[in-house]
Amino acid sequence: MSPKHILFVDDEPDVFQELEQSLQPMRDEWRMRFAPSGSEALKILSREPFDAVVSDMLMPEMNGSQFLTEIKTRHSQVMRLALMGDSEPEAVLRLSCPAHQCLSKPLNPIQLRNTIKRTLALRDLLTNQKLRHMVSQVQSLPGLPSLYVELIGELQKEEPSITRVSEIISRDMGMTCKILHVVNSVFYSLSQKITDPSDAAMHLGLETLKSLVLTYQLFSQFPHQPIREFSLEALWQHCWNVGVFTKQIAAVEKMSYDTMDLCFTAALLHDIGKLILASHLPDEYREIMAQARQKRVAVWKVEQEILGATHAEVGAYLLSLWGLPHPIVEGVAFHHCPIRCTSQNAPFITIIHAADSFEHENRSSSPMTERFMMMDDTVRSETLDRIKDWQAACLWNEGSAWLEI
Ligand SMILES: [Fe+2]
Ligand SMILES: [Fe+2]
């Protein structure tokens, strides 16, 4: 594998020395350069290509935010990481930071290594002639939704406040409506309708709420109908159903609550790459959907033929850039082919794949092409003894109420 080129930017020489030392083990895999200022780094970037930049935020002349904004405009394919302390000016910069991810100081070299390595590995899945052409047309990808970032901040506190969580949610009217709609449909048997986001948070649980907020905000960053053939509402419904099915199957498999939450979030986001492709490459995506309909094959197979990659890798790359937990990223990346996943996350990805397949197979009103998204043969034979239980859980459990949403 060719070495990756990483550029570090910091005005303090001590930080460089420490970094160089702690990243010594990466010498074989990374070619590292160090620049003492944003303007110096921009000069270096104009002469040679880099895969990622890691920048301090508080620097004289050009601060980290200004520097990373320049990178976003001039070198949009470079992964952008910001290094931040917890001083007040940095907290302010964090709110409008144009980085894909913010890492806290003092820098943890293992965290940095994993973050860069995993994200670039996913980007590498996208590199071939056709895909390079596609990526070159994607000028910029949206940032991690700000309300979600705030919500995570609150949830990471030692004692998160439900009142504060509901305040954050209430700031987005559309999101509040969606969450109240979801909670009232899920808990349809309650005698009184839930009308307050804090009651919704208590009923759904904070983890489910967090997944919903991320998915809703993510969906709302894209045009409502990027192309005529593509409905955002239908995609949301599909992702929600797959999320619910995934939870039901995970319960049958007696997975831990933590794993269930990861499964649910990954399932809600599994097809986010479709939105990116349809919004950024409308003409190609119209053609892909038409061909899938004509050939009666799954959309992702035509994506692979035409673009050299599928919405699974595209979505996973975006989520990885944003620093979502690796199991979620892998769940999205391998949801069509769980056997390609070699990590310990494979069992829960199999569940997402099964849930996705059931959802496509169950929907009588789905377009013809979608009904061809069937379960992978290897997965089917490996889970033969459990498939009936899984299907039953998806059809008749509490999920049937969730499905009315
Ligand atoms: Fe998919
Ligand atoms: Fe799907």
Nearest ligand to the C-alpha of residue 359? 2
This model's pTM is above 0.85: no
**Spatial separation of the C-alpha atoms in residues 67 and 393, rounded to whole Å:** 51
In 3D, which of 42, 35, 2 has the Cα closest to residue 19?
A: 35
Contacts 24+ apart (CB under 8 A), 37-42: 37/9, 37/11, 37/61, 37/62, 38/9, 38/62, 38/63, 38/64, 38/66, 38/67, 38/70, 40/9, 41/7, 41/9, 41/67, 42/67, 42/70, 42/74
Taken in order 206, 208, 212, 214, is the CA torsion positive or negative?
Answer: positive
Closest ligand relative to 310 C-alpha = 1
Any idea which ligand is nearest the CA of 301? 1
pLDDT in tens, 298-309: 899 999 998 888
How confident is the model at residue 402, as a pLDDT?
44
pLDDT of residue 35: 92
Q: How many A from CA of 202 to the centre of ligand 2? A: 29
Peptide bond into 226 cis (omega under 30): no
Considering every ligand atom shown, identify the ligand nearest to the alpha carbon of residue 236 and give its number. 2
To the nearest whole percent, how much of the chain has pLDDT over 90? 18
Ligand with smallest separation from the Cα of 238: 2
Could you give the 3-state DSSP secondary structure of residue 79? Answer: strand
* 200 Cα–ligand 2 center, Å: 26
pLDDT at 325 over 60: yes
Task: Report the separation in Å between the CA atom of 333 and the middle of ligand 1, taken as the mean of its atom positions.
Answer: 9
Gap from CA of 356 to ligand 2 centroid (Å): 5
How close is the Cα of 239 to the center of ligand 1, in Å?
A: 9
Residue 115 CA, ligand 2 centroid: distance in Å: 26
- In CATH, the architecture of 4-125 is 3-Layer(aba) Sandwich (3.40)
* Of 280 and 269, more confident: 269
pLDDT of residue 335: 94
Distance CA 343, CA 331 (A): 11
Average pLDDT, the chain: 80
Measured from the alpha carbon of residue 299, the closest ligand is 1
CA of 271 to the centre of ligand 1 (A): 5
Position 303 scores a pLDDT of: 92
CA 267–ligand 2 middle distance (angstroms): 8
b or e along 36-68 (b: 16 or more beta carbons within 10 Å of the residue's beta carbon)?
ebbeebbeebeeeebbbbbbbbbbeebbbbebb
Ligand 2 centroid distance, CA of 303 (Å):
14
What digits encode the pLDDT tens for the residues 9-29? 998 878 778 888 888 888 888
| CA 1 to ligand 1 centroid distance, Å | 28
- The pLDDT of residue 129 is 53
CA-to-CA distance for 315 and 277, rounded, in angstroms? 9
Residue 183: band (very low, low, confident or very high) from pLDDT cuts 50, 70, 90: confident
Given a cut of 80, is residue 142 above it in pLDDT?
no
According to the model, what pLDDT value does residue 190 have? Answer: 59
Whether residue 401 has pLDDT greater than 50: no
Q: How far is the CA of 107 from the centre of ligand 2 (A)?
A: 37
Cβ within 8 Å of residue 108, ≥6 positions away: none
> What is the distance in angstroms between the CA of the first residue and the CA of the last residue of the chain?
46
Q: How far is CA 77 from CA 81, 138, 150, 332, 378, in A?
A: 13, 9, 26, 21, 36
Q: Which one-letter amino acid corresponds to residue 105?
A: K
Q: Which amino acid appears at position 291 of this protein?
A: Q
Tell me which DSSP letter residue 73 carries.
Answer: H
What is each CA distance from 275 to 226, 239, 279, 324, 331, in whole angstroms? 8, 12, 6, 18, 17
Q: Tally Cβ neighbours within 10 Å of residue 19.
A: 19
With 0-12 / 13-18 / 19 or more C-beta atoms within 10 angstroms meaning exposed / middle / buried, residue 288 is: buried
How wide is the angle at C-alpha 318 spanned by C-alphas 294 and 89, nearest 5°?
155
User: What is the mean pLDDT of the segment spanning 151-178?
Assistant: 82
Phi–psi pair at 124, nearest 5 degrees:
-65, -30
* pLDDT of 98: 78
Instruction: Determine the average pLDDT of the residues in 203-214.
Output: 81
Q: Give SS3 for 345.
A: coil
Write out the residue limits of the CATH 3.40.50.2300 domain(s) in the chain: 4-125
299 near 243, Cβ under 8 Å?
Answer: no
Query: pLDDT at residue 248 above 70?
Result: yes
Judged by its nearest atom, the ligand closest to the C-alpha of residue 246 is: 2
Please give the distance, rounded to the nearest whole angstrom, from the Cα atom of residue 353 to the centre of ligand 1.
Answer: 9
CA of 115 to the centre of ligand 1 (A): 24
- CA of 241 from ligand 2 middle (Å) equals 10
Residue 108, token pair as written in the block: 């943890």
What is the b/e burial string over 303-322, where b = at least 16 CB atoms within 10 angstroms of the residue's CB?
Answer: bbebbbbbbbbbbbbbbbbb
Report the CATH fold assignment for 146-402: Hypothetical protein af1432 (1.10.3210)
Residues with Cβ within 8 Å of 369's Cβ and at least 6 positions away in sequence, in order, are: 289, 292, 293, 296, 297, 298, 299
266 near 258, Cβ under 8 Å? no
- Ligand that comes closest to the CA of residue 242: 2
Centre of ligand 1 to C-alpha 269, Å, is 10
Residue 326 has pLDDT above 90, yes or no: no
Give the residue ranges of DSSP H helices in 229-271.
232-252, 257-269
Residue range 186-202, pLDDT digits in tens: 665 556 777 888 888 88
Domain span(s) for CATH 1.10.3210.10 in the chain: 146-402
Contacts of 244 (CB under 8 A, 6+ apart): 394, 399, 402, 403
- How far, in Å, CA of 52 to CA of 284, rounded? 29
SS3 30: strand
Q: How far apart are CA 305 and CA 308, in angstroms?
A: 6
Asked which of 36-40, 60-64, 89-93 is least confident by mean pLDDT, the reply is 89-93
109: tokens are 């070299």
